[in-house]
Amino acid sequence: MVKTVKNDLLEAGLIPNVEKYLNGLLSSVWIVPQTFIYSDASPSGCGAWVSECAGMKWDEIGLSLKWLKTPLGENSNIMIPGHIKARQAVYPKSKVERFPVPDNKVSWMLNGRSTALSDTQRINSAGPVWADPDIMQEAGPSLKFNCVDGNVNRISYTGHYECIEGIPRNPCGRTGLMERGTLGKWGPNHAADPIVTRWKISQSGEKVLHSCSDKPILKFISIRRVDSGEWAIPGGMVDAGEKVSQALKREFGEEAMNSLALEGEKLKAVEEAVADLFEHGVEVYRGYVDDPRNTDNAWMETMAVNYHDDDGNSVAKFPLHAGDDAAAVQWHDVGSDIKLYASHSSFIQLVAERLRAHWHL
């Protein structure tokens, strides 16, 4: 049986708050559903999301966004058009064109096609140390999916993903490109995104309110990525065997404070400052990322954590220096007009909502 989520939320007595929440989602989040439709076949599906929301306050509903990102697929509960950047025509750093996938062909339940790479188009098959073997081409050691395989975490935040003849299948549906593109791992590739924020303060020391929304303006530390030139959260990949909490600190240190270029006392001071700030973080998102590098068989996932310096006494004094994969670093004003890499602006929106900061005009 197929129903609209909105009706169920209505029945659960969550309107008008949910109405506002869904409208926010429709206009800004990377998964842009026209209608939320789900089949209530599975007990852990959206039915669970609805009842879980029923006891929640408005803010908490905002944070349960991950439930709406339940994957598409045969075992899926929510059917949404899904990823957009992961379907963009030309694959990053290549001339390879994806097979066009319209919204109504994203789901694996429907017939559709993806481009198969030729030998000359194959990206990443040379196998840098951090990359998996090319399991489509070689009969190498088999990889264990949906579990921790040696020191590589192949568990998806989205739940169990399907493997067809030993090859994982993107839980958000078709991307128009087979194999693993430039990503290192087949299946989920895990990243960590630290969102460091403070309030915008006037010369007289007051919070600056936005002239239209009348809400205080938040600032966050952003970096310009070397690979795409886009502004982004200073995140990065979780290394094999590394904890996400370590990756959050390490990536922030490397990209926003250039810790890789520091030694001795200077390095120690930076590490201490970061460790201090990163003691109290609030997770705002964990799940699939609509990344342009995603393919049918390899995709990005992340955990985004907010570290907020409410009184401006710690982070605001950080010396920012771009390093590693970052070409530049700066404090960026938060608002719905920001254009960021992959799904990063949707994570920033969650932070703005959490801190009741300005977002929409």
Binding site for ligand BGC (CB under 6 A): 191, 193, 232-233, 235-236, 289, 291, 300, 302, 342
Q: Is 304 helix (H, G, I), strand (E, B) or coil?
A: strand
Nearer to ligand BGC, 41 or 226 (CB): 226
Nearer to ligand BGC, 49 or 285 (CB): 285
Shortest Cβ 152–ligand BGC spacing (Å) = 16
DSSP state of 334: -
Shortest Cβ 232–ligand BGC spacing (Å) = 6
Shortest Cβ 233–ligand BGC spacing (Å) = 5
Strands (E), the chain: 2-4, 37-39, 78-79, 148-149, 152-153, 163-164, 167-168, 187-199, 218-225, 231-232, 236-237, 282-288, 298-309, 326-333
Long-range contacts, stretch 258-263, CB < 8 angstroms, 24+ apart: 258/321, 258/322, 258/323, 258/324, 259/323, 260/323, 260/324, 261/321, 261/323
Q: Which residue is nearest to ligand BGC (CB)?
A: 235
Shortest Cβ 301–ligand BGC spacing (Å) = 8
Nearer to ligand BGC, 298 or 342 (CB): 342
Cβ neighbours for 265, distance < 8 A, ≥ 6 positions apart:
none
Answer whether 297's CB lies under 8 Å from 179's CB: yes
Nearer to ligand BGC, 284 or 300 (CB): 300
Shortest Cβ 236–ligand BGC spacing (Å) = 4
Shortest Cβ 191–ligand BGC spacing (Å) = 4
Nearer to ligand BGC, 80 or 342 (CB): 342
DSSP assignments along 22-56, one per residue: HHHHHHHSSS--SS-EEETTSTTSHHHHHHHHHT-
Instruction: Please report, to the nearest 10 degrees, the dihedral formed by the alpha carbons of residues 100, 105, 107, 113 taken in order.
Output: -50
Crossing angle between the packed helical segments 264-277 and 244-256, to the nearest 10 degrees = 130
| Angle subtended at Cα 19 by Cα 16 and Cα 25, rounded to the nearest 5 degrees | 150
Nearer to ligand BGC, 105 or 293 (CB): 293
Joined together, the tokens standing for residue 64 give 């349960």
Shortest Cβ 95–ligand BGC spacing (Å) = 21
Nearer to ligand BGC, 58 or 130 (CB): 130
Instruction: Please report, to the nearest 10 degrees, the dihedral formed by the alpha carbons of residues 133, 292, 284, 248 taken in order.
Output: 50
Nearer to ligand BGC, 22 or 191 (CB): 191
Nearer to ligand BGC, 10 or 240 (CB): 240
Among all chains, which residue has been given the structure tokens 């694996």? Answer: 108
Shortest Cβ 189–ligand BGC spacing (Å) = 8
CA distances from 238 to 120, 127, 153, 245, 333 (A): 30, 18, 9, 9, 27
Shortest Cβ 331–ligand BGC spacing (Å) = 17
